[in-house]
């Protein structure tokens, strides 16, 4: 059921019919479409609207004209990431699971030692300043703004490191190792949710059902209207967005669909776009190799 009380107008270029071809996109092209839009949204946070429109003029024009980006507009992005991720198909573990090099292990050990000593020294200095001297500086002011954060980021910021280290007992059977890894992976995903205070929702598999969810939730037109709102510094009411992105034939409340489903799926899809592309490229390369 649609709410026809439209107050603000949609952009003239918007037409939901332009997005019908999203039903036929491969996961690679889905990821490229998502990544392009993610880059635009991230740049909006750092640059002025005019600068963003200039930097992404080709992509924004293509979105306005076609809705779904064709490979000709994402070619450079595809080739750059394909060179990185496509090569991983030949690595043991595809570059996703791999042995920790001794040099890396030693470096991490040294960082942990330095970290422990630094924390102890700073705590001692802070204690003496508080108890025996007039405290003139805070720790950050004394050593520089966010000193600890700068020192620890490389090995402790999960958004920088993107990997965890583990030990595998190879004496165990393959069956037990695989089951143990599944258990470890589940615990790490749960821990990640606690750290991030939100459900990052890593997809367990890339399936046709996942693509169907994105299509049914009208993810691409929703994201494009979000880009439009941020570039124009306006906020469209949810009922207007719902009316615009969903077909006239739907029998559900489109405003609630945007609020409860589309917005959430769009956020997750954007967050996962890089991982989805990596997965799809590795699978594509493996498939081609087996066919040949």
Q: How far is CA 256 from the centre of its chain?
A: 25
Q: Is residue 65 part of a domain?
A: yes
Looking at the structure, tell me whether residues 72 and 111 fall in a common domain: no
Domain of residue 207: give its range.
16-93+202-291
To 10 degrees, the CA torsion angle through 158, 161, 167, 173?
90
Looking at the structure, tell me whether residues 85 and 108 fall in a common domain: no
Q: At which of 164, 187, 211 does a domain end?
A: 164
pLDDT tens string 132-155: 544 444 444 544 555 445 544 544
Confidence of residue 131 (pLDDT cuts 50, 70, 90): low
Name which of 42, 74, 4, 53 is nearest 281 in CA terms. 74
Q: At which of 118, 149, 164 does a domain end?
A: 164
Q: How many domains does the chain have?
A: 2
Looking at the structure, tell me whether residues 286 and 218 fall in a common domain: yes
Q: Is residue 20 part of a domain?
A: yes
Is the pTM value of this prediction over 0.75? no
| Residues 29, 284 contacting (CB under 8 angstroms) | no
* 190 CB neighbour count, 10 Å cutoff: 10
Tokens of 68: 């779904």
Between CA 156 and CA 119 the distance in angstroms is 14
Name which of 209, 273, 248 is nearest 69 in CA terms. 273
Tokens of 215: 């299509």
Between CA 68 and CA 269 the distance in angstroms is 15
Measure Cα distances from 124 to 41, 115, 119, 146, 191 in Å.
44, 14, 9, 18, 32
pLDDT tens string 205-235: 778 888 999 999 999 999 999 999 999 999 9
40-44, 85-89, 96-100, 101-105: least confident range: 85-89
126-130, 264-268, 274-278: least confident range: 126-130
Looking at the structure, tell me whether residues 77 and 34 fall in a common domain: yes
Contacts 24+ apart (CB under 8 A), 10-13: 10/225, 10/236, 10/240, 10/244, 11/64, 11/225, 11/228, 13/64, 13/65
Q: Is residue 213 part of a domain?
A: yes
Q: Is residue 113 part of a domain?
A: yes
Q: Is residue 31 part of a domain?
A: yes
Q: Is residue 10 part of a domain?
A: no
Looking at the structure, tell me whether residues 129 and 210 fall in a common domain: no
């Amino acid at each position: 059921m649609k709410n026809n009380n439209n107050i603000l107008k949609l952009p003239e270029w918007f037409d939901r019919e332009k997005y019908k071809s999203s039903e036929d996109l491969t996961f690679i092209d889905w990821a490229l479409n998502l990544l392009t839009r993610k880059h635009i949204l991230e740049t909006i946070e750092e640059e002025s609207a005019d600068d963003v429109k200039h930097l992404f003029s080709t992509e924004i024009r293509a979105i306005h004209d076609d809705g779904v980006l064709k490979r000709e507009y994402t070619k450079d992005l595809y080739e750059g990431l394909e060179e990185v991720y496509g090569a991983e198909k030949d690595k043991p573990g595809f570059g996703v699971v791999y042995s920790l090099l001794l040099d890396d292990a030693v470096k991490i050990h040294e960082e942990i030692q330095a970290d422990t000593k630094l924390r102890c020294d700073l705590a001692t200095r802070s204690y003496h300043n508080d108890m025996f001297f007039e405290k003139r500086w805070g720790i950050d002011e004394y050593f520089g703004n966010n000193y600890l954060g700068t020192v620890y980021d490389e090995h402790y910021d999960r958004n920088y490191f993107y990997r965890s280290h583990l030990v595998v007992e190879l004496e165990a059977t393959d069956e037990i190792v695989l089951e143990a890894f599944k258990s470890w992976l589940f615990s790490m995903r749960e821990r990640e949710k606690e750290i991030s205070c939100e459900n990052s929702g890593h997809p367990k598999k890339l399936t046709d059902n996942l693509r169907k969810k994105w299509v049914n939730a009208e993810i691409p037109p929703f994201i494009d209207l979000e880009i439009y709102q941020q570039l124009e510094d306006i906020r469209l009411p949810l009922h207007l967005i719902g009316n615009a992105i969903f077909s006239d034939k739907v029998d559900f409340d489109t405003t609630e669909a945007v609020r409860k489903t589309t917005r959430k799926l769009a956020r997750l899809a954007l967050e996962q776009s890089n991982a989805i592309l990596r997965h799809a490229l590795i699978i594509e390369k493996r498939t081609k190799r087996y066919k040949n």
